[in-house]
Structure 1
Amino acid sequence: MRGTNQSRVSEFLLLGLSRQPRQQQLLFLLFLTMYLATVLGNLLILLAVGTDSRLRTPMYFFLCHLSFVDICFSSTTVPKVLASHILKSQAISFSGCLTQMYFVFMFVDMDNFLLAAMAYDRFVAICHPLHYTTKMTHQLCALLVGGSWVVATLNSLLHTLLMSQLSFCADNVIPHFFCDVTPLLKLSCSDTHLNETMILTEGALIMITPFVCTLASYIHIARAVLRVSTARGRWKAFSTCGSHLAVVCLFYGTIIAVYFSPSSAHSAGQDTAATVLYTVVTPMLNPFIYSLRNRDLKGKLKKS
């Protein structure tokens, strides 16, 4: 069985988002604009935090890692879409496809963990302000981020290795704009039961646990905010937390819909639209949601 995959299918064809020339041109401009906005916005965050010692706090430490991950996340999928349009080539090699899938998994997991870490940071800052410096230590922040990288790397490696053991016999057309696990499993002529089981068990555990922690943090934050005496203070806190929760719900909602819903409920169009939201839109929104609403960071960006 060794080498069966590559001897039968040496490359895949990514159909992209549309097969209509006019729509392809519009989508190319849209993806290019969103990608440039993502890279520029997140680079500005990294530059602002890196050049201002006053922003060396746990919140901005997590934010810098989120910005770096979002740049890498978008760069894993969008440049291939843009290059395919320019070069008029939809092909991607078997090894290239698995590599892209590996990094997509890893950066999705990192986004997942960092959103939870940032929610916990805000929970401690708002609900336990007097103990913030003793709880959110540099060691804890480094442990949270380092542990997240280790778990994300091992998880993506597991799913990539499982995918590499499958056989792909004839059909090599992926109705998607990148090598995602769901359309690849549909193309395989092997038994994919183990792959699907791992996605629904181990993959679900890794995604849902931080999601529950994030929601729990914001619930405690909401309770604390309701105890604020002034209506203006409550509205300011809720508007910020509400925007954060909107990104969290968008990120997790689309992932759950794509990877953890029954196979019979999947359609190529719906899956593609959902994955655009969490692979392209969410990384673009994060700098604006988490940073540009912050007075300290806005002040630094204006001075720059």
Structure 2
Amino acid sequence: MDLLRPPNNVTEFAFLGLMQNPHLQKILFIVFLFIFLLTLLAILLIVITISLSPTLSAHIYFFLIYLALTDAFHTSAVTPKMIIPLLYQKRITSWSDSLNQIFLAHFLGGSDIIVLTVMAYDRYVGIYKPLHYTTIMSQKLCSLLVGASYSWGTVCSLTLTYFLSELSFRGNNIINNFVCEQAAFVAVSCSDPYISQEIILVSAMFNEISSLMIILTSYIFIFITVLKMPSTGGHHKPFSTCASHLTAITIFHGTILFLYCVPDSRSSWLMVKVASFFYTVVIPMLNPVIYSLRNKEVKETARKLVNTKLLCQ
């Protein structure tokens, strides 16, 4: 079946956006454009820093590159389509473009979940079994884990997009959101939304529960191992290497749990818009900032690279 077939009697959807005030929309366009460019610049800086520095050779930085690239694709797929209507007042999107955007959002979001989970396991091996770290976390295993994260993101995205494509729409093409968010389309469908809603809930709950169990288990062992270290100074470095990862996990999973796993959150479309904005715009911007500001090694390496470039000029 062609997933991009148009729904019954509807070939385009009109988005209400964040607000209707034209003056505020122009201000928002400038703000969001600045955030978008700043996000891409920060991600580019992280990727270049890790790629060029031999000191950042631990596998956690290998995973960080893929997390940064996923965030770059995520914000590039969503933000331009969100801010252009603020400038030109055009909020019409075709059904095929809507499905493509939803597919990319689920694919990149699902991949992010697995990469963050794998990073927790990497920290567990590095701290709990440091002598066996290079043996357990081989380059081959790391590549397989990254490939598995993108494969799982593809499976989840195809499943959710398929069930969305089966919905029927007759006449009602007004979407109360500013991005292509699956629940907004389910809300205006004339089909029975039960299956689609359950698929979204089950998929989100499975991903959240399985990933959080691995993350919590990993950090329990990390916490026990660090407490057994003899000196207070020995406690600081392991916790500092995990701080940025824990911050990113808390923000990412907190937003997902609110958006997909808390039933009452969908009673207010304003809250849905806020959560969608946070998930699609803020988180991809925060991740590179968190990893660059909370990680001492990344900061020091970036500073040295910048100073070297300035001295060479």
What TM-score does the superposition give when structure 1 sets the normalisation length? 0.92
**Residue of structure 2 equivalent to 1:174:** 175
Q: Counterparts of 2:58 and 2:171 in 1: how far apart (Å)? A: 53
Consecutive unaligned residues of structure 1, counting only runs of 5 or more, are none
Offset at residue 155 of structure 1 (A): 1.1
Pick closer, same or farther for the CA change 1:7–1:200 going to 2, 3 Å: closer
Letter of the structure 1 residue corresponding to residue 26 of structure 2 = Q
Measure how far apart 1:78 and its partner are.
Answer: 0.7
Q: Deviations over 1:137-163 (max 9, x none)?
A: 111101111111111111101111111
Change (3 A) 1:98 1:233: same
Q: CA deviation at 1:55?
A: 2.9
Q: 1:152 to 1:4 in 2, by over 3 A?
A: closer
1:255-266 mapped onto 2 (5 Å cutoff): 255-262=256-263, 265-266=266-267
Distance 1:4 1:115, change over 3 A: closer
1:60 aligns with 61
Partner of 1:8: 9
CA distance in 2, matches of 1:42, 1:226: 34
2:275 is matched with 274
1:42-92 deviation per Cα after TM superposition (whole angstroms, max 9, x unaligned): 111111222234434311110110010000111121111121112220111
> Displacement of 1:206 after TM fit?
2.4
Match of 2:119 in 1: 118
Q: What is the rounded CA distance, in whole Å, between the counterparts of 2:18 and 2:224 in structure 1?
A: 43
Distance (whole Å) between structure 1 residues aligned to residue 108 and residue 240 of structure 2: 28
- Relative to the length of structure 2, the TM-score reads 0.89
Further displaced range: 191-200 or 240-249: 240-249
Q: Distance in 1 between matches of 2:260 and 2:171?
A: 24
**What is the CA–CA distance in structure 2 between the aligned matches of 1:222 and 1:160, rounded to whole Å?**
39
Deviates more, 1:194-203 or 1:100-109: 194-203
* Number of aligned residue pairs: 304
- Equivalent-residue separation in structure 1 for 2:42 and 2:193 (angstroms): 40
- State how far apart, in whole Å, the 1-side matches of 2:200 and 2:227 are: 38
Displacement after TM superposition at 1:265 (Å): 4.7
Inter-CA distance 232–15: structure 2 relative to 1 (3 Å threshold): farther
Instruction: Give the match for residue 73 of structure 1.
Output: 74
Task: Give me the whole-angstrom Cα distance separating, in 2, the residues matched to 1:49 and 1:247.
Answer: 18
101 and 265 in structure 1: CA distance in 2 versus 1, 3 angstrom threshold = closer
**Which position in structure 2 is the counterpart of 1:46?**
47
2:70 alignment partner AA:
V
Contact 1:73 1:107 in 2 (8 A): yes
Partner of 1:131: 132
For 2:16 and 2:266, the matched residues in 1 are separated by 21
Taking only the aligned residue pairs, the percentage that are identical comes to 38
Mapped contact 2:123–2:242 kept (Cα < 8 A):
no
Question: For each residue in 1:9-56, what CA deviation from the matched residue of structure 2 results, as whole angstroms up to 9, or x when unmatched?
Answer: 111112221222343233223222221121111111111222234434
| Alpha carbons 2:59, 2:122 under 8 Å: kept | yes
- Spell out the pairing of 1:132-211 with structure 2 (5 A cutoff): 132-211=133-212
Per the alignment, residue 216 of structure 2 pairs with 215
Cα distance 1:48–1:239, how it changes in 2: closer, same or farther (>3 A)? closer
CA gap of 1:264–1:51, structure 2 versus 1, over 3 A, is closer
Deviations 1:194-245 (A, max 9, x none): 2122222234212321122112222222222223344344355445534432
1:103–1:156 Cα contact (<8 Å) kept: yes
Q: Distance in 2 between the 1:39 and 1:181 partners? A: 26
Quote the RMSD (CA, aligned, Å): 2.3
Amino acid at match of 1:82: I
**Deviates most, 3-12 or 198-207:** 3-12
Q: Would you say the 8 A contact 2:259–2:265 is kept in 1?
A: no
Contact 1:247/1:286 (8 A) holds in 2: yes
Q: Is the 8 A contact 1:5 1:167 kept in 2?
A: no
CA distance in 2, matches of 1:50, 1:243: 19
Task: Say whether the 8 Å CA contact 2:292–2:298 is kept in structure 1.
Answer: yes
CA distance in 2, matches of 1:141, 1:17: 40
